[in-house]
Structure 1
Amino acid sequence: MKNQSIIGFIILSIGLISCGQYHSFEIPSPVINQINLTGNRQISKAELRTNVMGVKNSYRRLLPAKLYTYLGIKRKRKDSLEIKPSFIQFFKSPNPSYNLAWLTTNKVQIERYYRENGFLKAKIKSNVDSIANLVNVTFEIEEGEPSYFTKEDSLSVDNPILAEHVNSYIKENSLIRPMGRLKLEVLKKEKEQLSHHLRNEGYYYFSPDAVGIRINDVKDSTLRRISLYYKIPEFKNHTLIANYDRLYRIGVPEFSISDPFGNPAEHPPLKSLSKLINLQEDDLYSVDLFNQSLKNIYLTDQFKTVSIRFDTTRTRLFPKIELFQNEKYNFSSELGGSIFRGIPGPFLTNSFKVRRLFSSLDYFDFSTRIGYEAQSGFINTTDTRNNLELNVSASINFPSLYLPKALIGKLGSYYGAKTSVGVGFDFINRPEYQRTNLNLFQRYTWQKSEYSFFTFSLINLNLLNTIYPETATSDSFKAYLDELKGKGNNLYRSFNPSFVSSLSFQYIYRDLLPSNELKNGKIFQIGLESGGSTLNLVPSHKFSFVTDLLNSGQDIQFYRFLRLNFDYRKYKMLGRNQKSQLAFKLIGGVAYAYGDENDYQLPYEKNFFIGGPSSVRAWKPRRLGPGSYVSSSSLVEQPGSILIESSIEYRFRLFPLFGQMNGAFFVDAGNVWNMTQGNTDPSTQFHLSDFYNQIAVGTGFGLRWDFDFFLLRLDLATKVINPANPVNQKWVLSQTSFEGGQNPIEFNIGIGYPF
């Protein structure tokens, strides 16, 4: 559309320029032809044009300013006659009129922007060149030396107790940093943060308006090194002064609870709700703790709305919390489907929620999913059939941590706590096998801050069983598993009767939510898991009752293992307009099986895998590694017990196209390895002395089609270093081809960013 507009514009312009009416047209009054900025060194032209409206455009255009002025006058004439304009609508932005007031205003705005960003002695001059009412303006900028904070600040606070709190904040929490450049925006944020800090210390009525921050020019008259003078209070409205320095303590909270129909709730859970308030009677007021308390109440999923106001007419703050209950029962159902190789596959998902089942604040979740979706066969991947899958899960959730008080005390301040206990059942019916998994779990979740999340699970039991029908397809599949077993692949363990138990801990720090919007931020995640710990208490390392329960006639696999994994991601916006992004990912993990009863093998699902659209994109999903192992088939997944993976990606805008089309260049690297114990191929084993020679590297280019509500991704990737090749043949970039061969281009299609 944009290209069509430009072509039409040029055609129309050529026609107009050759027209006699246009040729005789004269610009009636001075207009801006061009705006230039010179002399700037530390603040870019792009930044100035972004933040100073008068110089936002340079007005350098494809065709003459006379044409824009002519079309602008013509458009105004049509508007006044109420004639619907057509193509002329493309020229609604004529060059602005020039006058002395415009020039003075923009000089002042540029100078103000410089002063607000630490250049207190900046000077702006202007040169004006005019030909036939076309004015070229050049703003000559003398930036001068910037001013920096020294942190040699002084303080004037009327209330001595308040002065101690302010002084502590300036020393430990201030946004002002030594040798940071003076910026008025930083001073504004300093006022807001100081106010927020004091409101967490009991000063309910304190506001940024009470804080005065001035530049102290006594210590350095050149203003190159800035000392600040904090003055509290400094109200412009003196009627607000009364209670700014008064400390408030909390009174007993009062709850007003309405049922879903607006009537007073029967048997309101006052005692349980009071436990969710993070402040006790006689504690100093804290805005953060009260916000956390409201979040505690909201996360119980019992209330549609949660609001609070404070009664300040007495000597203390008495919270009055108003709550409207959710309906006791909720049911939702979704019918959908997918298409694989032209074969439709329907599925049905149901969810049922019951609130206040056993107590006043618990809720019970029950969900089912049944699907009859098309999938390719294991042996003959070109064969496609519909397979039945059934998933059932049920859980009960309580808004507190059911842990010993001594342990809870060691957690310190937290909120958003939840204890969940549940059971799940999965059933898969394929021509090759029928597989079931019975899962029993319990977990604790809580938050320490807006960005920090914790999960601790004491119980996670999985009882897996596989039944093979007496068919030729099933016999072929069992033979296929035996073949993989002989090659060192332990996929067969996933289909043996198994009992997998574990306890785990996970910590996540996240200062941004996953979305299609490019932002600054970082994510860090670490997980610890111990599998089969209770088996160490049994001499045989097995539970006989599990064997009796399955009664499959096969040996039951019991696993003992330790597993550690971490995931670090960093996102940095780049460019003067912050429109592009550099994204970095580093993932690692190690899993150690110490149970010799299974030849030191892990449960298949506890292995690490690498390769695919969200991993190392130059390899097919789960097909890279382990180590320098050369696989005889690209159909076989390659598990490992050690993982190192990293990616770096530069993301940038391209052009609008029914949304926004973006691009990316990326480099991926990593591999998986096996431990040295057990029956493993030496080429797959991890050795500290030479593991770096087995790091795979891939690179490529991608397109991201951003529709706001979802993002469609296409990545083209090629291998750069292939660790499976001999030592002198690992570099394979020159062998890249779209037509197969040793290094074919891999096409990866996905929804959302790869990380």
Structure 2
Amino acid sequence: MKKNSTKITAFILIAIFISACNAVKRVPDGKNLLVKNNILVNGKSTNDETASNQMYQKPNGTLLGFKLRLNLYNLANLNPDSTYQAKFKNHPGLYERQAKILSAKQVDRLGQSFLYKGIHEFLKNTGEAPVIIDTAKAKKTLLRLKFYYFNNGYFNVQTDFNVDSVGFKKAKINYNIITGPAYTLDSIKTTILTPALDSLYKTNKEPSVLKSGNQYRTADFEEEKNRITTYFRNNGAYFFQPTYVTFDIDTIGKKNKADINLKISNNNIQERDSSRTEPFKLYKISDVNIYTDYSPTNAKGKVSDSVTYNNFNLYSYKKLKYKPRAITDAVFINKGSYFSDTRTTLSSRYLNNLKIFNYPSIQYEVDKRDSTAQSLIANVYLTPRKKYSFGATFDVTHSNIQDFGLGGSVSETIRNVFNRAETLEISARANIGSSKDMANPNNNFFNVSEYGLDMKLNFPRILMPFGTEKIIPKRMIPSTAIAAGFSKQRNIGLDKENFTGGISYNWSPKRRNTVKLDLLNAQYVRNLNPDNYFNVYTSSYDELNNIGKDYNTRPANWGETVEEQAKENLTIPKGTAGFTNDVLTNQTALTPDRAEYRDVESIEERRVRLTENDFILATSYTFTTTTKKDLADNTFYQFKTKIESAGTLLSAISNLASLPKNTSGNYEIFNLEYSEYIKTEFDYIKHWDFGKEKVLAVRSFFGIAIPFGNSNYVPFSRSYYSGGSNDNRAWQPYSLGPGSTDAMDDFNEANMKIALSAEFRFKILGDVKGAVFADAGNIWNVLDNVIDEKAKFNSVNDLAEIALGSGFGLRYDLSFFVIRLDLGFKTYNPAHEKGDRWFKEYNFGHSVLNFGINYPF
């Protein structure tokens, strides 16, 4: 064994040496491969990412320290055509011999094949040419670095560079920066030529970015320019631009300090071949004209219908199809108010959010009727979308329930339903699939199916019997949605019918904050085939059946046939129901102090909970805030919290009406005990961008649903599960927890969940990305009717049951979505005995491969 280890080690060292030599294969004599850029600031190396980005040349990329792309490039033949032709020159008669066997044309085409040429093109395009040190580019980099440090207040910066050899044909570049002392801002004064702007500047409550004592930074001056411009343009200065803001910086007679004079000049007006200046004017809006059916074809046509409403002028080239208020509520540009960029942007967002127009165009023109030339006319051009639009989708699906599925949907959108910018969306969907886990007596390939119908009516305002403008002003872009739906599953578990309906409100208190209030959210779940429970939850059946083999004594009383009595196993549903009843009514040898008795009791509790029909009437409030600017933003956080209350309204009505309770002491509606619980969730995501496409992403989640009053458990549809491609990736969906139970059931769920995840993402080759991750978490039962102590959360000591999975993944970025593969390993499994939980199943045999679309968080 020792000899083999020595051989393996020697082989690895030789491979590394060959790869290292291969790195300079295409480096010309007298040249060096760039292996490192070293920035030394005042003699010390720096990791300043912005400074590193000033480089004109960067070393070849690496994967875990190995220059994979460079070595792929070096494997390629850069001139495969010449090599192919040389083969025939070096071997006279070879071409003729091959042409007799094939043909001259085929021999020529062989040189263009993948074997001779294509593979080298692939290696060359996938790989990366060696980065050869270029002193001209190093000098350009040095100039960039000088400007970078100068722009950060080091006015006396000195720079140079040297090339330092680190091996055969390899070298690094040392960029030496001597900064000298940084300059700070001393006195700050302003010179604003336009009196109106001078007054505005003095009344601006937002503090200046430039403050005495701060280090000089060019970026601060640019930010101050933008701050002033935004403020002026939101207060009537229509023609103002950032170029009118300049700074005089005086360092004469100062020691490492600079006096700042902020100057704002007058408006420069071009008139043919000459120009003149005059003080800026603050413009007010004299008219707001809204063209409701504008298009390039009717732009020069005649308006045939118009109306004036709340100082807005609405025009239509055909008959006006909208109630005026539906449009004017979306426009924040008011007659008599000062011109404002913010109001213009807000109007565009709100009008676009109506979903009945293409993106609007808002243009301004100076009102020639005003002799003082201080008025603007706002023209809002709206191009309607089609009133009716049809859509269809087709999907191939795979899930933990279906091995293979085909799904499709059709939808119809009707816009401006009641002439107040409402939209009605109607959709129908159907799915058929194949599942080896489901009952399939006829051996059909497609043995599961689901279909459904949904309707959603959207209103671009808050529908309430009283006014809400003071609480939720229209600048928050409020909307109301009324939804209803129906779906039916067949041969999927217990088979279900699902009826849903509700009314919800949405608004945005701030630019990146959203609120959703589900005033009423109703759901009725009806199980069509509850007798199939043990055919679906086979783990529960196996456990009950094993107990039944030892304690089953009275099968004849269960109404079974002679053939059924002759079987050793409990039949479904007669045998399972009969044996469970006998155990719980003390008609077997099992007594309540026996572990098997408690197992039967736990199995029956879960069966009742999952087979009972559910009616849920809930109210929920969801708040989301994020600093994410766009899809490319990799430095942001997102926080989402939700609180939901179900059954409280029904209980209040039942109490006030003194309605009778059933034999269980609970209220009923439609002969069904409704669910009552309170549920809250907290979800936090944070991303850090380390540059060079390296991103660290973390997520934390906590959720708990507590039943009370009319319920002693939370419905399956409102409970939590763990595992899967977007959760703990070392476990399959529903296969982790609760607690330390080793996922004894088939679809394990509970009413409390903790989840923590971290993922480091990096670039591998082109659009191929990599990631290493760690996922921690579990689910537990708390304050409900579950009796299994291993599944319950009783104290902080149960946090030791948090499972840990780790692994690595590959992602392929298709721009519009990301294809993701993750391989998770069970690192810490709380289902094992204490002291035997770490790395017990840390191997490929127990790993889980997850397929996902887009990043998990």
TM-score by length of 2: 0.70
Is residue 692 of structure 2 the alignment partner of residue 578 of structure 1?
yes
Q: What letter is aligned with 2:702?
A: G
Is residue 852 of structure 2 the alignment partner of residue 750 of structure 1?
yes
Distance in 1 between the 2:175 and 2:355 partners? Answer: 61
Corresponding residue number in structure 2 for 1:684 = 791
Is residue 355 of structure 2 the alignment partner of residue 301 of structure 1?
yes
| Match of residue 50, structure 1, among 50, 53, 61 | 53
SS in 2 for 1:358: coil
Corresponding residue number in structure 1 for 2:86 = none
Corresponding residue number in structure 2 for 1:290 = 344
Distance in 2 between the 1:480 and 1:616 partners? Answer: 34
Corresponding residue number in structure 2 for 1:636 = 747
**Residues 140-151 of structure 1: matches in 2 within 5 Å?**
141-145=176-180, 147=182
Q: What letter is aligned with 2:739?
A: G
Alpha-carbon contact 1:415-1:448 (below 8 Å) kept: yes
Corresponding residue number in structure 2 for 1:673 = 780
Deviations 1:205-233 (A, max 9, x none): 2221121234453795224xx66432223
Distance in 2 between the 1:643 and 1:477 partners? Answer: 33
Distance in 2 between the 1:241 and 1:477 partners? Answer: 94
Corresponding residue number in structure 1 for 2:285 = 250
CA, structure 1 residues 206+181, in 2 after alignment: closer, same or farther (shift >3 Å)?
same
CA, structure 1 residues 443+233, in 2 after alignment: closer, same or farther (shift >3 Å)?
same
Distance in 1 between the 2:343 and 2:293 partners? Answer: 24
Is residue 391 of structure 2 the alignment partner of residue 332 of structure 1?
yes
Alpha-carbon contact 1:650-1:665 (below 8 Å) kept: yes
CA, structure 1 residues 469+202, in 2 after alignment: closer, same or farther (shift >3 Å)?
same
**Residues 600-679 of structure 1: matches in 2 within 5 Å?**
600-633=712-745, 635-637=746-748, 639-656=749-766, 660-679=767-786
Corresponding residue number in structure 2 for 1:348 = 408
Alpha-carbon contact 1:50-1:56 (below 8 Å) kept: no
SS in 2 for 1:120: coil
Corresponding residue number in structure 1 for 2:814 = 707
1:42 deviates by 6.7
Corresponding residue number in structure 2 for 1:526 = 641
Q: Which moved more, 1:612-621 or 1:265-274?
A: 265-274
**Residues 113-152 of structure 1: matches in 2 within 5 Å?**
113-125=148-160, 141-145=176-180, 147=182
Is residue 469 of structure 2 the alignment partner of residue 357 of structure 1?
no
Deviations 1:608-666 (A, max 9, x none): 22222211222221222223334434x231x222222111111111223xxx2222121
Is residue 264 of structure 2 the alignment partner of residue 232 of structure 1?
yes
Alpha-carbon contact 1:455-1:506 (below 8 Å) kept: yes
**Residues 432-451 of structure 1: matches in 2 within 5 Å?**
433-451=494-512
CA, structure 1 residues 583+150, in 2 after alignment: closer, same or farther (shift >3 Å)?
farther
SS in 2 for 1:190: helix
Distance in 1 between the 2:351 and 2:432 partners? Answer: 40
1:370 deviates by 1.3
CA, structure 1 residues 36+177, in 2 after alignment: closer, same or farther (shift >3 Å)?
same
**Residues 194-213 of structure 1: matches in 2 within 5 Å?**
194-213=228-247
Corresponding residue number in structure 1 for 2:545 = none
Corresponding residue number in structure 2 for 1:592 = 706
**Residues 365-376 of structure 1: matches in 2 within 5 Å?**
365-376=425-436
Deviations 1:343-381 (A, max 9, x none): 864333101111122124111111000122223435799
Alpha-carbon contact 1:714-1:747 (below 8 Å) kept: yes
Distance in 2 between the 1:135 and 1:747 partners? Answer: 41
How many positions carry a matched residue from both structures?
A: 691
CA, structure 1 residues 252+530, in 2 after alignment: closer, same or farther (shift >3 Å)?
farther
Corresponding residue number in structure 1 for 2:547 = none
Distance in 1 between the 2:758 and 2:48 partners? Answer: 29
Q: Which moved more, 1:290-299 or 1:251-260?
A: 251-260
Distance in 2 between the 1:712 and 1:362 partners? Answer: 36
1:562 deviates by 1.1
Deviations 1:585-629 (A, max 9, x none): 01111212112x43x211211112222221122222122222333
Alpha-carbon contact 1:420-1:442 (below 8 Å) kept: yes
Distance in 1 between the 2:151 and 2:796 partners? Answer: 55
Q: What letter is aligned with 2:149?
A: Y
TM-score by length of 1: 0.78
1:204 deviates by 2.4
Distance in 2 between the 1:477 and 1:176 partners? Answer: 78
SS in 1 for 2:469: helix
1:726 deviates by 3.2
Corresponding residue number in structure 2 for 1:565 = 681
Alpha-carbon contact 1:703-1:715 (below 8 Å) kept: yes
1:325 deviates by 0.9
- What is the RMSD computed on CA atoms of the aligned residues? 4.7
Alpha-carbon contact 1:157-1:232 (below 8 Å) kept: yes
CA, structure 1 residues 221+733, in 2 after alignment: closer, same or farther (shift >3 Å)?
same
Alpha-carbon contact 2:352-2:360 (below 8 Å) kept: yes
Deviations 1:412-431 (A, max 9, x none): 56333221112111111117
Unaligned 5+ runs, structure 2: 1-14, 62-66, 72-77, 83-111, 299-316, 537-570, 581-598, 663-667
SS in 2 for 1:509: strand
1:581 deviates by 0.4
Distance in 1 between the 2:236 and 2:414 partners? Answer: 39
CA, structure 1 residues 113+533, in 2 after alignment: closer, same or farther (shift >3 Å)?
same
1:511 deviates by 3.3
Alpha-carbon contact 2:627-2:638 (below 8 Å) kept: yes
| Match of residue 516, structure 2, among 455, 460, 475 | 455
SS in 2 for 1:410: coil
1:505 deviates by 1.2
Distance in 1 between the 2:621 and 2:148 partners? Answer: 50
Distance in 1 between the 2:611 and 2:172 partners? Answer: 77
CA, structure 1 residues 246+687, in 2 after alignment: closer, same or farther (shift >3 Å)?
farther
Q: Which moved more, 1:264-273 or 1:612-621?
A: 264-273
CA, structure 1 residues 323+373, in 2 after alignment: closer, same or farther (shift >3 Å)?
same
1:540 deviates by 6.3
Distance in 1 between the 2:600 and 2:801 partners? Answer: 23
1:334 deviates by 2.7
1:322 deviates by 0.6
Corresponding residue number in structure 2 for 1:266 = 319
Corresponding residue number in structure 1 for 2:332 = 278
Distance in 1 between the 2:827 and 2:515 partners? Answer: 39
| Match of residue 693, structure 1, among 768, 781, 800 | 800
Alpha-carbon contact 2:687-2:698 (below 8 Å) kept: yes
Corresponding residue number in structure 2 for 1:394 = 455
Alpha-carbon contact 2:194-2:279 (below 8 Å) kept: no
CA, structure 1 residues 489+193, in 2 after alignment: closer, same or farther (shift >3 Å)?
farther
Q: What letter is aligned with 2:752?
A: I
Distance in 2 between the 1:259 and 1:405 partners? Answer: 34
Deviations 1:667-703 (A, max 9, x none): 2112222223544333333344423322222222222
CA, structure 1 residues 128+388, in 2 after alignment: closer, same or farther (shift >3 Å)?
closer
CA, structure 1 residues 701+609, in 2 after alignment: closer, same or farther (shift >3 Å)?
same
Deviations 1:130-185 (A, max 9, x none): 9xxx999977633324636558633333355534543565x745555888754323
Is residue 506 of structure 2 the alignment partner of residue 506 of structure 1?
no
1:444 deviates by 1.1
1:127 deviates by 6.4
